[in-house]
Every structure is written in structure tokens, then in C-alpha cells.
Amino acid sequence: MKIGIPKEIKNNESRVGMTPAGVAELIRHGHHVVVQHTAGENSGFSDEKYAKVGAEILPDIESVYNEAEMIIKVKEPIEKEYKLIKKGQLVFTYFHFACDRKLTDAMIESGAVCLAYETVETDNHRLPLLIPMSEVAGRMATLNGAYYLQKTKGGKGKLISGVPGVDRTKVLILGGGTVGEAAARMACGLGADVWITDISLPRLRQLEMELPVNAHTLYSTEHNIKMMLPDIDIVVGSVLVPGDKAPHLITKDMLKMMQPGTVLVDVAIDQGGCFETSRPTTHSDPVYIVDDIVHYAVANIPGAVPNTSTMALTNATLRYALALADKGWQKACKDDPALYRGLNIVDGKVTYQAVADVFGLPYEPLAL
């Protein structure tokens, strides 16, 4: 199979779909890999490194899309790429369709096979291709929250760890999944007092046992969240409903309950955000203020650390990319229910129910 790795063109997205090590494995399996010129440069992987393992370097994004049967990316295609995607072409990437009707319509019209990293789900409800970026995003959420807590950045002017004789920062994390746990571990390590919420009691019990002693668990209800807000310094929103929009756990009215300079970090912004006042931002313009509350809602947080992120992502995606390339997408998805669940749009049909439901589109499950 001919596999293409284009350069990401979303604002300040420096990751690349696969490392040279991953490309080497694809080539070892007999596949031909084309990589766009400078695709890996911002992640620390030069054209020479790809060429050394046997990849063909192509001069532009049009050439990559034109030649490849399968595209491996990081972020969803943006408008400039819509016209490049061909009927029957397999596109393997993060799509997050539920919060982007324009993208959904474009992919339906393209006739492509859209296999979304974020909905590849194992039988035990694990999301193996979302986990590595969630681990990065959770850690970064705490670091960014601490950074924007500085007075010069619009925050309260607090140091996350405190110092002897001065109280430490209080961090509230909404959602106890992979992002939430990673954010909590980072916040605990920096010395903050941390509260992490979830609606699963078994998960809260697990977190209670595994997190450091400065982390506290709290059952997630509107009442409990409201009780915490007046004293909280940083709120990390990390709620995920696979393939669907995130619920709004903090409304605009609730902002008045917080002290000016409180920082909200919405990691769920890829799925619409879990704060009512959230809107997607970029690394070049990451924050805005509503009612004296700082909002950080960058939609590709791991893109700020592309070397770490690209290696972590390739570690997770490679086995699935090999299966798709070796067997073809139909047999690979038939053999592996996790991959089958990743199919969101195929040949103009919406094959993932949550995406169909959010836009009121026909849901047409795929029979393989």
C-alpha cells in the first residue's frame, strides 16, 4: 500500500503523523511511504531521517494526497485540505467530528474512509489512540494553568506550590479519566492541593488509592462543583464522551462564583468544551477573559511539545496502521472490533452513531 504523511497545516501544529521509526516498520512490511518535505522538521525529524529509512520525500501536500491510498495525520483536515481528499482514500487521524459540522459535511462529500483515532475503542472501553495525547494534554493543562495564574498573565498572582508559610494553590479537575489523572499527578507533583471529580465511584476509589496524598476525590454533581468554585484557583476541564460533544459542567452564571483571575483550562475543547464560555483558541493566541476569569482553550495542546507527542502517538498508532496497510481497511476493521469502532464516515455515510445524532444525520452502520 502507498501511505502518505503530509505536513500539518493547522495553526501552530508542529506534530507529524509518524516518526521515522514508525515509517521504517511500514516499509519493512513492504509498503511504500511518501512524506511531505519538512513534515517532521518541527518535531525534530528531518527529511534525511525519513529518507534514510526508505521513505520518498515529496515536495508539497498536493503530491502526498494525490499519490497515497492511506493518509496518516495528527489533526483533522482543515478547509485547504478538503479538496485534496479522494473518494475511497483512507484517512487515519483525529477528526473530532461532533464539534465541526463543516468538516463532517466535507468528509461526507469526499467519499473517503474516515477512521478516527479518538473513537478506536477496545472491548473493555479503553481508547488506545486517545490515551497518549491525553497523557500529554493533562500534564500540559496543569503547567499552562500554573503559568496563566501569574498576575502578569491575568491570573491571581499565585505560585502553584506556595512557599513555607504561604498556602498552596487549589486545583479542581473535572473528570477522572486519563487527562484528569495526568493533570492531577502533575498538580500534586508541583505541590498544589488537588480535587478530582468523576461520576464513577469505582474510578474515584482507584484514584484515591493511586494518587498522592495531596489529591482528594469528589463525586461529580453540580452542587459539589459549585461548593468548590469560590476557593479554587485553577479548573481543568477533562470530561470526555467518546465521539460526542462534551457536557457543559461550568455555566456562564457559575463564573461569578469564582474569584477574579481564576484560570479555566478546557482540555475538552476538541469535543466542544466542558465550560459554557469556552471557544477554541490557538497557541499563538491561547487565552481570553470572560467576567474576569482567564480561559485557556487551545484545541491542540500537545502540539506545543511535538517531539514528545509525535513519539507517543506513533507508539500507539503503529500497530493499527500496520494492520490497515497489511490487510486493507475492510479486513482490518472486520478482524479488530476496536478499529471498526473508529470508522466514522465511509463512502458518504455516517457510520458512527454519536456523530449522526449530534447533527441529526442518518446513521448507517457498516456491514463488513
pLDDT tens figures, 28-43: 999 999 999 999 999 9
Query: Phi and psi of 278, rounded to 5°?
Result: -75, 145
- Per-residue pLDDT for 366 more than 90? yes
Average pLDDT over residues 136-155: 98
pLDDT of the residue at 50 = 98
At 46, is the pLDDT very low, low, confident or very high (cuts 50, 70, 90)?
very high
pLDDT of the residue at 245 = 80
- Could you give the domains of the chain? 2-120+305-359 (3.40.50.720), 135-304 (3.40.50.720)
How far is the CA of 221 from the CAs of 228, 242, 313, in angstroms?
A: 11, 20, 33
**Which residue among the candidates 193, 198, 266, 270 is catalytic per the annotation?**
270
pLDDT of the residue at 202 = 97
> How far is it, in rounded angstroms, from Cα 203 to Cα 221?
15
- Per-residue pLDDT for 11 more than 90? no
- DSSP structure string for 271-325: GT-SBTT---BBTTB-EEEETTEEEE-BTTGGGGSHHHHHHHHHHHHHHHHHHHH
The pLDDT tens digits of the residues spanning 67-87 come to 999 999 999 999 999 999 999
Query: Is 270 one of the catalytic residues?
Result: yes
The rounded percent of the chain whose pLDDT value lies above 70 is 100
Task: State the average pLDDT for the chain.
Answer: 96
- Per-residue pLDDT for 242 more than 90? no
Query: Phi and psi of 193, rounded to 5°?
Result: -90, 125
Instruction: Give the closest residue to 71 by CA, choosing from 58, 348, 365, 334.
Output: 58
Average pLDDT over residues 120-141: 95
With the CA atoms of 123, 366, 119 and 198 taken in that order, what torsion angle do they form, in degrees rounded to the nearest 10?
Answer: -60
The pLDDT tens digits of the residues spanning 169-204 come to 999 999 999 999 999 999 999 999 999 999 999 999
- Per-residue pLDDT for 244 more than 80? no
How far is the CA of 333 from the CAs of 90, 148, 320, in angstroms?
A: 12, 43, 10
The pLDDT tens digits of the residues spanning 311-339 come to 999 999 999 999 999 999 999 999 999 99
At 297, is the pLDDT very low, low, confident or very high (cuts 50, 70, 90)?
very high
pLDDT of the residue at 289 = 98
**Which residue among the candidates 31, 96, 248, 295 is catalytic per the annotation?**
96
Residues 6+ apart with CB under 8 A from 305: 136, 140
pLDDT of the residue at 139 = 98
Residues 6+ apart with CB under 8 A from 154: 148, 261, 287, 289, 294
Average pLDDT over residues 100-125: 96
- Per-residue pLDDT for 243 more than 90? no
